[in-house]
Structure 1
Amino acid sequence: MVPHLITALTGPINELEQRVLESMPAIERWFRLEWMEHTPPFYSSVDLRNAGFKLAPVDTNLFPGGFNNLTPEMLPFAVQAAMSAIEKICPEAKNLLLIPENHTRNSFYLSNIATLIRIFTQAGLNVRLGSLDEAITAPTELALADGSSLTVEPLLRTRGRLGLKGFDPCTILLNNDLSAGIPRVLEHLHEQYLLPPLHAGWALRRKSQHFKAYEDVAKRFSKLLGMDPWLINPLSVPVEGLDFSEGQGLEALQTHVDAVLSKTRRKYKEYGIQEKPFVVVKPDAGTYGMGVMTVRDAKEVLELSRRCRNKMSVSKDCQAVHQVLVQEGVVTHERVNDAVAEPVVYMMDRYVVGGFYRIHADRGMDENLNAPGASYVPLAFSQASQLPRPGEKPGASAPNRFYMYGVIARLGMLAASYELEVTDPEAEVYA
Structure 2
Amino acid sequence: MVPHLTTALTGPLLALERCFLERQTDIEQWFRSQWLEHSPPFYASVDLRNAGFKLAPVDTNLFPGGFNNLNAAFLPLCVQATMTAIEKLCPEARNLLLVPENHTRNLFYLRNVARLAHILKLAGLHVRIGSVLPDITAPTTLDLGDGQSLLLEPLIRLPGGRRIGVEGFDPCAILLNNDLSAGVPALLQDVREQTIIPPLHAGWTTRRKSQHFEAYSEVSRSFASVMDIDPWLIDPMFDVCHDINFHERSGEECLATRVGALLARIRDKYAQHGIDHDPFVIVKADAGTYGMGIMTVRDPSEIVGLNRKQRNKMAVIKEGMEVSSVLIQEGVPTFETVDGGVAEPVVYMMDRYVVGGFYRVHAERGRDENLNAPGMHFKPLAFESCCTMPDPGCEPDAPPNRFYAYGVVARLALLAASIELDRGLPEDGQHEAVEAELRG
Report TM bin, short chain. Answer: over 0.9
Partner of 1:90: 90
Partner of 1:57: 57
Question: Matches of residues 310-349 of structure 1 in structure 2 within 5 Å?
Answer: 310-349=312-351
Cα deviation 1:380-414 (Å, max 9, x = unaligned): 7584798211253222x100000110000000000
Match of 2:253 among 251, 254, 277: 251
Greater Cα shift, 149-158 or 54-63:
149-158
Q: Secondary structure at the match of 1:33?
A: helix
Question: Matches of residues 3-82 of structure 1 in structure 2 within 5 Å?
Answer: 3-82=3-82
Amino acid paired to 1:39: S
Partner of 2:231: 229
Partner of 2:207: 205
Partner of 1:420: 421
**For residues 381 and 95 of structure 1, what CA distance do their matches in structure 2 show?**
32
Change (3 A) 1:233 1:384: closer
Amino acid paired to 1:353: V
Q: 1:92 Cα deviation (Å)?
A: 1.6
Q: Secondary structure at the match of 1:172?
A: strand
Aligned-CA RMSD value = 1.5
Conserved? CA contact 2:354–2:386, under 8 Å: no
**For residues 427 and 356 of structure 1, what CA distance do their matches in structure 2 show?**
40
Q: 1:429 Cα deviation (Å)?
A: 4.8
Conserved? CA contact 1:345–1:406, under 8 Å: yes
Amino acid paired to 1:406: G
Change (3 A) 1:103 1:193: same
Q: 1:105 Cα deviation (Å)?
A: 1.9
Runs (5+) with no aligned partner, structure 1:
none
Conserved? CA contact 1:352–1:381, under 8 Å: no
Conserved? CA contact 1:51–1:333, under 8 Å: yes
Greater Cα shift, 187-196 or 15-24:
187-196
Greater Cα shift, 47-56 or 68-77:
68-77
Partner of 2:290: 288
Conserved? CA contact 2:331–2:368, under 8 Å: yes
Amino acid paired to 1:115: R
Aligned length, in residue pairs: 429
Partner of 1:170: 172
Q: Secondary structure at the match of 1:246?
A: coil
Greater Cα shift, 136-145 or 403-412:
136-145
Q: Secondary structure at the match of 1:288?
A: coil
Cα deviation 1:181-203 (Å, max 9, x = unaligned): 01121122122110000000001
**For residues 295 and 8 of structure 1, what CA distance do their matches in structure 2 show?**
25
Q: 1:141 Cα deviation (Å)?
A: 1.2
Conserved? CA contact 1:74–1:380, under 8 Å: no
Partner of 1:408: 409
Cα deviation 1:133-190 (Å, max 9, x = unaligned): 1121111111112132111111111320011110000010000000000112112212
Q: Secondary structure at the match of 1:425?
A: coil
Partner of 1:276: 278
Q: 1:90 Cα deviation (Å)?
A: 1.4
2:129 paired with 1:133: no
Conserved? CA contact 1:73–1:380, under 8 Å: no
**For residues 36 and 212 of structure 1, what CA distance do their matches in structure 2 show?**
21
What is the percent sequence identity of the aligned residues? 61
Question: Matches of residues 365-384 of structure 1 in structure 2 within 5 Å?
Answer: 365-379=367-381, 383=385
Match of 2:299 among 283, 297, 308: 297
Runs (5+) with no aligned partner, structure 2:
432-440
TM-score normalised by length of structure 1: 0.97
**For residues 402 and 103 of structure 1, what CA distance do their matches in structure 2 show?**
31
**For residues 392 and 330 of structure 1, what CA distance do their matches in structure 2 show?**
27
Change (3 A) 1:211 1:263: same
Change (3 A) 1:351 1:143: same
2:242 paired with 1:240: yes
Conserved? CA contact 1:199–1:423, under 8 Å: yes
